[in-house]
Amino acid sequence: QQQVKQSPQSLIVQKGGISIINCAYENTAFDYFPWYQQFPGKGPALLIAIRPDVSEKKEGRFTISFNKSAKQFSLHIMDSQPGDSATYFCAASGNAGKSTFGDGTTLTVKP
Amino acid sequence: EAQVTQNPRYLITVTGKKLTVTCSQNMNHEYMSWYRQDPGLGLRQIYYSMNVEVTDKGDVPEGYKVSRKEKRNFPLILESPSPNQTSLYFCASSLGTGPGEQFFGPGTRLTVL
C-alpha cells in the first residue's frame, strides 16, 4: 500500500519556466510534509517543508502548496534553472517514527 | 563539519555472506533511520530508531537487522544477503525523536551476487 503518490515521474521544463510536482497522501495522521532534492551520487537534502496548519510556504523560488481537505501537496519551482535539474522526493511523517517517501520526480531544466 | 557518514560506500558481496554497513552522525541527533533506494521506487524505510535502545520496523524490514547501542551509531546488518537486497542504501538522522528534517549520508551501493 503506497501511502504517498507522486507525479509526474519525469518533467522537462525550459529555463525560466515553472516546475510543478504533485503528491497525494492517505494517512491523516501525517503532520510533516517535506520535499527533498537529490543530485546524482549524493544523498537527498531537505529543500522545504510544511505542516498542515498552513496552506502555503515559500522560500525563495520554491513554494509548497498544501490542501489538507484533498490530502494533496505540491512543489512549485519558479524561474527554473539548469542547476535545479535533480530528482525531487516528497515525503510525509507523523508522531510515530515512520517516514514515507514518494517515488521521485526527475526534473530536467533545459537551457 | 556536521555530517552523517556511512561505510563502506561501495560493496560487492556474495549471497549468504554476512555484512554490516556502518552509520555514524556527529550532530547529537536522537532519530536515525535506514532507507533503500531502488529505481522507480523512491526511498523505502527499512528500520528507524527514535532514540538509543529503541528501534522499530519500517516498511521493508525483512532480511535486515539494526542496533542502536550508542546515540551516534546505527549499523545495518544483513545476516544472509540475497540478490534482491542489491540496492543503494541511505542512513539519515534527525534532531528530534521523529523523522522531521532528516540529514542523509552519502549512500552505500551494495551489490549481492
Residue among A35, A98, A105, A106 with most chain B CBs within 10 A, to mutate: A98
Does the CB of B50 have a partner CB in chain A at under 8 Å?
yes
| pLDDT at residue A1 tops 60 | no
A30 neighbors A20 (Cβ within 8 angstroms): no
Question: For A89-102, how does the pLDDT look when each residue is reduced to its tens digit (9 = 90+)?
Answer: 999 998 788 999 99
Interface contact A49-B59, CB threshold 8 A: no
Cell numbers standing for residue B73: 551509531
What span, in angstroms and rounded, lies between the C-alpha atoms of B34 and B84? 17
Question: For A44-76, how does the pLDDT look when each residue is reduced to its tens digit (9 = 90+)?
Answer: 999 999 999 999 999 999 999 999 999 999 999
Side chain identity, residue B75: P
Supply the pLDDT for residue B97: 83
Cell numbers standing for residue A99: 517516514
Residues of chain B contacting A97 with CB distance shorter than 8 Å: 31, 33, 48-50, 56, 97-99
Give the end-to-end CA distance of chain A in Å, rounded to a whole number.
Answer: 38
Average confidence (pLDDT) over B47-75: 94
Tell me which H or E stretch contains A25: strand A19-25
What span, in angstroms and rounded, lies between the C-alpha atoms of B105 and B73? 12
pLDDT band at B53 (very low <50, low <70, confident <90, very high): confident
Does the CB of A51 have a partner CB in chain B at under 8 Å?
no
Average confidence (pLDDT) over A16-44: 95
By 3-state DSSP, what share of chain A in percent is helix, strand and coil, each rounded to 5? 5, 55, 40
Cell numbers standing for residue B83: 540478490
Does the CB of A44 have a partner CB in chain B at under 8 Å?
yes
Q: Is B53 or A101 the better-scoring residue by pLDDT?
A: A101
Angle at A43 between CA A49 and CA A86, to 5 degrees: 70
Residues of chain B contacting A100 with CB distance shorter than 8 Å: 45, 59
Does the CB of B48 have a partner CB in chain A at under 8 Å?
yes
Average confidence (pLDDT) over B67-83: 96
Task: Tell me if residue B85 falls in helix, strand or coil.
Answer: helix
| pLDDT at residue B99 tops 70 | yes
A105 neighbors A11 (Cβ within 8 angstroms): yes
Interface contact B45-A99, CB threshold 8 A: yes
Supply the pLDDT for residue A3: 87
Angle at A45 between CA A57 and CA A24, to 5 degrees: 55
Contacts of B38 (CB under 8 A, 6+ apart): B44, B87, B88
Share of chain A above pLDDT 90, in %: 90
Interface contact B104-A43, CB threshold 8 A: yes
Does the CB of A43 have a partner CB in chain B at under 8 Å?
yes
pLDDT band at B112 (very low <50, low <70, confident <90, very high): very high
| pLDDT at residue A11 tops 70 | yes
